[in-house]
Amino acid sequence: MSNPLLETWTTPFGLPPFDRIEPEHFKPAFDTAFAEHNGEIDAIIENQDAPSFANTLEPYERAGALLRKVSAVFYNLASGNTNEALQAIQSDLAPRMAAHWSTIQMNEKLFARINAVYENNDQSALTDEQSALLTEIHKDFVRAGAALSPEARAEVEKLDEELAGLTTHFGQNMLKSINSFELFLDEADLAGVPQGIRDAAAEAARDRGQVGKYFFTITRSSMNPILQFADSRQVREKIYKAYLNLAAEGSFDNRPLAARISALRARRAQLLGFSSHAAYMLDDRMAKTPERALELLKDLWVPTQRKVEEEARDLQKKIQDEGQNFELAPWDWKYYAEKIRAERFDLNNDEVRPYFALPNVRDGAFYVAGRLYGLTFTRLDNVALPHADAEAYEVTNESGDHIGIFVADYYMRSSKRDGAWMSSLREQSNTHGRVRPIVTNTCNFPKPKPGEVALLSFDEVRTVFHEFGHALHGLLTEVTYEHLAGTSVKRDFVELPSQIMEHWAMEPEVLHHYARHVETGEVIPDRLITKIQAASSFGQGFITGEYLAASFLDFAWSQLETDVEQDTESFEAGAMAAIGLTDKIAPRYRSTYFSHIFSGGYSAGYYSYIWAEVLDCDGYEAFKENGIFDPATANAFKENILMKGGTADPMALYKAFRGREPEVTPLLKDRGLL
């Protein structure tokens, strides 16, 4: 049987032939890829010449090309369009993949060659990028345990295998728990909910054989409109409590997994010479230490608490003004905040949402990329994609040169994990010719009825621009080595390109271009733009508070210095009590569904969004000072941030762009926390 994963793809732009790829192709493809990679590693080890950058680091960087190719396709499908067959493969693959990489990075002979180059090679003979590659690969091996005793290496390998299985299981439990919750509501339950949300929910209910009902889930895109607009307090409470208990009971219970993962990470960090998993992780980040990251969180927590208390008083007064006598609860917060927002800023969601049709918002992001970086996005038809909802675009520059491919998959479905993310189907590199990237954006917006378009909230507009910023980072990178390409940067630096893009979404000049009424085509009026901007920092106490609480929770788990498994619920309660979190809000993610840290790449790193926000708010000040589309400023950001990937120290890159280190004041101002 032919296997498309093992073929040289002759598809347009080398896109994976998704229309020919079946689940049964993956196991033999991975078998072949693992074997090929092992052979390439053996060839490096067996080389009798003295270790050098050319005969050790470069072939190591090239090795595993087939494994990267197969993995990119598999993990994009496993996160964006999974099924039972793919989930079974993923469960089997996780420990096998961990063991494969552990075997390579624990290989004494391979590490001896890399270490010899690192210690003995004349660094001045290397380019800056070659030196960065050598440093990063050497660090990868040391951090994996290559320098440990044989006994310690064996224990780390065992831990890595178990952790790979546990983190995969955690993510699958989340998806299954989300899909197991079905809330069918009646018309009477939806008083206050915008008509567009009702229409999408009615269509979803019809698809499930429930004509006349309205279907909602506990994904944020489905749940938030209920919490924000539903007049029924009972309905709000029901969906909110279901969300709080996500993956916390029954066969999808993630509580023991969170505890076990944290204990194993603590043990692994100690074997590697660190006091905690947080100390281990931040040793390779901009922040360098947990203490430095926590210092920023604590500095922000004090004004945020004041803002939360102020907002809570306003909301409680609103409840009482309406003749109610109950105490503000978490499921009331967004509902009454929306009422105050509407009154205080005369901002009506039903009036604003029609200006944010998803295709127009997407084109607005394209417009900004065109103005800043001279990019053009041309839709590709008749190409195979991961799902029928996905769309692909060729990206070219002002000279018409091919830059890469952008794939967008915006709509929610049960086969897709919750959230929004950027990924790659192919990374940029220049080691064997000019390889251009294929990047993806995946979101979870409610799918509209046939013949209609999705209308977004402004938070969802920000999500489109945010993920597109990551995509630009992947598209515009221009490095030699794939290991350093695009978003292969420090975790607390990677959010700078994404978060700075959000600023353009609110600029009047940009809104005038993309925000057009879905029915009339009318450009959004200035009076609405003024209201949107005036309301932009409203509710930041709640928004910042739930985010910071989750960041503190992440550090609580990651700073454990014992491998004794904790009771998840009491541990979380203690962590929140330690920061004085009010019972009127919850952390943005509780432990059982905190996929960022337990099944994603953000363990001891959820703080990085706010760390990068210091950078993006300060960086955007340069655009405001010089003009939001100033060519020189845009070029400086492109050349020093977007093109560089992981080829230099992040702070050095930022200073090259900005001329100085970042200041925190713009962030405080942007969030209304001064």
Output phi, psi for 441, to 5 deg: -120, 130
* 101 within 8 A of 60, measured Cβ to Cβ: no
* CB within 8 Å of 517: residues ≥ 6 apart: 354, 355, 524
Closest Cα to residue 558, out of 195, 208, 264?
A: 264
* CB within 8 Å of 663: residues ≥ 6 apart: 614, 618
Rounded distance between C-alpha atoms, residue 419 and residue 221, angstroms: 9
**Which structure tokens are listed for 285?**
């980040």
**Which structure tokens are listed for 222?**
């489905």
Type of residue numbered 14: G
Work out the burial of residue 309: count CB atoms within 10 Å of its CB; fewer than 13 is exposed, 13-18 middle, 19 or more buried. Answer: middle
Closest Cα to residue 636, out of 625, 622, 647?
A: 622
Give strand pairing partners of 435.
429
* 290 within 8 A of 604, measured Cβ to Cβ: yes
| Element containing residue 425 per DSSP (H, E) | strand 421-426
Output phi, psi for 399, to 5 deg: -90, 0
Any catalytic annotation for residue 108?
A: no
**DSSP-assigned letter for residue 24:** G
Other residues' Cβ atoms within 10 Å of the Cβ of residue 39? 10
Instruction: Considering the candidates 61, 311, 460, 467, report the single residue annotated as catalytic.
Output: 467
Rounded distance between C-alpha atoms, residue 333 and residue 339, angstroms: 10
Other residues' Cβ atoms within 10 Å of the Cβ of residue 175? 21
**Which structure tokens are listed for 137?**
């690969």
Rounded distance between C-alpha atoms, residue 377 and residue 512, angstroms: 20
Long-range contacts of 523-526 (CB under 8 A, 24+ apart): 524/355
* 78 within 8 A of 86, measured Cβ to Cβ: yes
Beta strand 214-216 pairing with 376-380: unpaired
* CB within 8 Å of 455: residues ≥ 6 apart: 196, 353, 354, 356, 357, 358, 448, 518
Quickly list DSSP for 319-374: HHHTT--PPP-HHHHHHHHHHHHHHHH---HHHHGGG-BHHHHHHHHHHHHHHHH-
Rounded distance between C-alpha atoms, residue 239 and residue 218, angstroms: 7
Rounded distance between C-alpha atoms, residue 530 and residue 522, angstroms: 17
Cite the active site residues: 467
